Structure formats: structure tokens, C-alpha cells
Structure 1
């Protein structure tokens, strides 16, 4: 067989039809047409493979990690039909965005396995870590310096899209940042599933149905509240009132309109409160 010229698959099959006796040369053609597990793809083959993958409906993680020095974040992806896949996020300043396709099939569980390095931060510098879970929102954290590291086992949450963008970069905040906590109690008095999430500057949480405690930052001591609910099948709106638990004062109100579905219903803003209660009930103002 001419070097680098592959024999078509259908022709290879004819060598081994019943009653035939393949020759040494035909066995060689068969072996040369296969890829051995120790074979290394050439650069041309790798580029062609990646280009083909771009047109396949397959889940992937892509990240940019700018100016993070020796910081490395190991992310483990678990699927229902493959062994765990570990992706190591390293500084990508020189090469731009890195894309890595995921093995297996959905649903995926994505979590931080461990974080190493990253000890070169100056007095008011921090690492900003964020990822997008849905079409409308990011989860984000600051870490490093005087702020705690993102814990091993940190769960990214439910992967709704077929891709997860991750961003890590160094940020000079110009002043020291400290964590403050707000306790959130969530009460849903309706039969409609409702989730809530809290968001602030450089900090955002996943949608939840259970009570929670924020870990946002003192120099941005406010919280935006959002709700996720599907009201397409009902004809009555829902009102979510937010109270300061310490004095039972109404702080803000969000309205979820009947006949609509949204991932991010606006729920209002609260500032400098340590204990919040959210109560969602059917609106009494509708006729």
C-alpha cells in the first residue's frame, strides 16, 4: 500500500470474506488503517478533530484565566456514564479562552476539587471567580488575600446549558474587603415552585428554595433579590414580600405575574440588613 494512503473500509472487508485467504500485505493494510492507542495525533489531525468537534452538539467548559500567576483550580465533572473528568484551570493570558469538551452525557455535576498556588496577591488584590449557570445570571466570588479560599467540593449547581463559561482574573479593589452575612428565611405559601437568589457586587448565589446565609462583602452591603417561577398555568399573580426580621419591617416587594414564566423575576433590593424573611403568597390585590 502506498505510504499515507488508506485503503477504504469497504475494500478492507472484502479481504476477509468467507473462503478467502488474506495475504500478508492485506493484513498490513488492515493494521495500517487502524489507530493504535499509543499513536499520537499530528498537529494537522488535532486541528481537524477540534474543528469537527465545533459542529457537534456536545457539552463543554470554556474558561479564561487572566493574570492569575501560579494559581490552579481543579474542577471535576461527573456524568452518569463516564469516569470523572478533571479540568485544571491555569493562567491563559497568552492563549486566550480555553475550551474543553465534556465526556459522557447530561446531567453533569461540576465541583471544585482543590485550589493550589496563588500566593502573589498584593494588599488590596483579590481573585474574582465566576461562572454562568443560566442564560441570565452568573455566580461569583472573591477569594485570596484576607478572604477565604473557595472550599474544596464547592458545587457549581445545576448545569442548564450545554456549556459553562468560567472566568478567573486578578482584581485590585483598592481597599480591604471583608465578608458580611445576611440570614435569609424563605417561606412559600403557594403551590407553585418558586426559587430565589441573592446577588451583590462581586458576589452571587445559586437559585435556592431552602433558607440560606449570604457571604457578600462589606463595601457592597446590599442584596438584589430575584425569583425563578413558572406561572403560565395559573391566572393569579404571586407577591413576594421581603421583611427585616429584627423589626418586622417590610423592605421591598416583588410581583410574579400570572400567565408568565421567567428565570429572573425582579424582587427588589435590601441594604445593610442581617436577617431577612421572604414570604411569597398569592396576590390579594387582583380583582
Structure 2
């Protein structure tokens, strides 16, 4: 009688090639040795897998959902040149509000929203979202109830170079009152030959750096804007002064300086733009006197 020993896959292939068949016991043992996609990993297996993931060079998202977010889902789309678009759905799993998901393909990855859920809110509750990509600055928005949704195609940024980790946090909060969007128009007048970028930030609303004119969509509960600048003047002999004006009446609001011989990064103007609807930023060379 043939002994019922567990045969290897290669051995079983030879059975079929020769017109033979594995015994029922051999076939059962082989099936048991395979992993089904519905199988749940043991804790030891998950630890071993996590240790192996440490060597993966692919980008990933690490995210946190807090504030009693339960059944809501927030899908994002990852685009890379060598793979089809990948959709990752951010959701809270049991008692694990923090999660990590890896991206297919290679950098650069363009990361966009795909119609975030705005359900599961009581009156005066809102979702507060912030995202961060290395080499960029946080993008923050609120959504839900009367506030605009995060639209399909909303761009969080591009993960490129050595950057691997895209971070996102979504928190459900109760503010005790209705919050509305207000707008401030910002115009940049760059009278220099240098590349000068600025960004605008306030509580729960911020954008990355730009050289273009823009219109904010911040919130009436925090109608005070902070403006930051960056410009690489490492090979430039003249410093630059950036003045912020109220476009409606010409009043000077704040002044910031970008210094010659330096790579100026995230330079704060030292003041806030409070309840102003139209702003003009003028940047020009200055000469300091001894």
C-alpha cells in the first residue's frame, strides 16, 4: 500500500504529468498547507509580516481617525506612473484608530480625495482634517453639515524623492455653534527677479506654498490669517521686504524680511491679517544702511 506522506508541490506536479493523481490524504494535506485569502493571520504571523514590511521602499499612508468616528469611510486615490490608480479606504477598525496602508508602484505618488463621507454628525459637529507630506506643509480643512464637502479630486500633494510617509488625521468635533466659510482674496506683487512663495494658515485651514494669487476658504470662527514666506537667496546680495496691505484702504498690516545669503524657509511676518477680505502682498529689494 502506498504510504500517505505529504508530497511537495513539485512532486504533485509530476503525479499529474504522468497521469497519476495525489491520494486524498496527500491532496488534503496540501490544501491545509496553503493560505486562503479569507484566513485570518495569527498575532505571531502579523508580527513577522510587520517586521518584513520594514524593508519595503514603497510609500505609505499612516492615518488616525478620532472623536468617535465609527462607520464613516474616507477613500483616497493613489496615482503613480507605473501602476493603475489605487483606492485606499480610510476607516476605523474596531479599537484601532491608527492604521497604515502601503502604496503600489513607485514614487512619485499623487494623492487625492475621493468624495469623503460627511455623515454621522450631530448639529454643530464637524470633521476636521489635516494632512502632511514631507517637504510640504500641512493642508487643513473642515467639512460636514453646512460646510462644503471634500470634493472628488481634492489634491493633497505629491509624495516624491526620499519621502515615504503621507500622514492624515480626521477628527470629529463639537463646536457648540454653526461655522461658516469666509473668503479672503490675496494678490502677490513680486517686484524682484527671485522666486518668492507664500502660504496662508489659520486654525483648521491651511494650504501649501504658492506663487499665485489665491482666495482662502477659511472659517468665521477664526478670521485671522498668518502669512509665511520662503525664498532661497543664498546667492543673492540683496535682502527682500514683503509688505502686506489691506487692498481696500491701503493700510499696512504686516512686514516680513527675506535675508540675502540665506535659504529663507517658513519666515513668519510677525503679525496677523484680522478680518480683512482683500489683501495685497508686495515684495521688493531693500538695502540696509549701516
TM > 0.5 fold call = yes
Match of 1:234 in 2: 236
Match of 2:154 in 1: 154
Cα distance per residue 1:102-141 (max 9 Å; x no partner): 111222111112223x433222211001101346732111
Match of 1:18 in 2: none
RMSD over aligned CA atoms reads 3.1
Match of 1:94 in 2: 95
The alpha-carbon deviation at position 183 of structure 1 amounts to 0.1
Write the distance in 1 (CA, Å) between the matches of 2:258 and 2:131.
26
Q: What is the aligned residue count? A: 268
Match of 1:121 in 2: 121
Any conservation in 2 of the 1:68–1:127 contact (CA below 8 Å)?
no
Match of 1:59 in 2: 59
Match of 1:144 in 2: 144
The alpha-carbon deviation at position 92 of structure 1 amounts to 4.5
- 1:166 partnered with 2:168: yes
The alpha-carbon deviation at position 37 of structure 1 amounts to 11
Write the distance in 2 (CA, Å) between the matches of 1:157 and 1:121.
27
**TM-score calculated relative to the size of structure 1:** 0.82
Which runs of structure 2 are paired with 1:1-287 in the superposition (5 Å)?
24=14, 42-43=41-42, 45-66=45-66, 67-92=68-93, 94-116=95-117, 118-134=118-134, 137-159=137-159, 161-267=163-269, 268-285=271-288
**TM-score calculated relative to the size of structure 2:** 0.81
Any conservation in 1 of the 2:182–2:217 contact (CA below 8 Å)?
yes
Q: Secondary structure at the match of 1:276?
A: strand
Write the distance in 2 (CA, Å) between the matches of 1:36 and 1:232.
60
Distance of aligned partners of 1:3 and 1:269 in 2 relative to their CA distance in 1, 3 Å threshold:
farther
Unaligned runs of at least 5 residues, structure 1: 7-11, 16-22
Unaligned runs of at least 5 residues, structure 2: 23-29
